[in-house]
Amino acid sequence: AHVQINQHVALGGFYSRSFRGMAGVRYNDVTVKQEALLLQKGLGVRLSTGRAKNWRKYLAVNYSQVEILQVNEAYRLAGKSNAFGASLGIMRKLSNNLYLNVIELGVKVMSDEIFWFNTSNKVIIDAKMGLTYNIGKRK
């Protein structure tokens, strides 16, 4: 949900949870891929193009808390970190206040390492879609 400040700027919060996903961890020259789930929640600023009839491009800068859950056969591992990031996306207007985020591609840098990754790489690259509700006057 976002509060529309003006035609181009919105402030808001987000909650994003993966239905499924993969985490790839590189050990020396070997890449290991495991099933992993990602939860992100936080605050962001969205800068968007002017009001188009149906489609609107945007850039979002955000601060979030990231949780990663890796599912193994006999056990699960979970870790949490704060992250700063940015995303590029395109949304389609469904009504005056409701938009479908068709695709949003983002990069986030975590403040802490996830302990079982055994790497100093703190970067998350994600692709997501969802709904955005804009609170405020139609501008």
For 51-102, what is each residue's pLDDT tens digit? 667 898 999 999 999 888 887 778 888 888 999 999 999 999 898 888 899 9
| Burial (0-12, 13-18, 19+ Cβ within 10 Å), 130 | middle
Instruction: Give the separation between CA 93 and CA 1, rounded to whole angstroms.
Output: 14
pLDDT band at 133 (very low <50, low <70, confident <90, very high): confident
Model pTM score: 0.75
Decide if 106 contacts 95 (C-beta within 8 A). no
Structure tokens, 16: 């994003």
Terminal CA-CA length for the chain:
17
Structure tokens, 81: 């970190």
Q: With 60 as the cut, is the pLDDT of residue 138 above it?
A: no
Structure tokens, 60: 């979002």
What is residue 1's predicted lDDT score, i.e. its pLDDT? 83
What is residue 104's predicted lDDT score, i.e. its pLDDT? 93
Structure tokens, 133: 């509700």
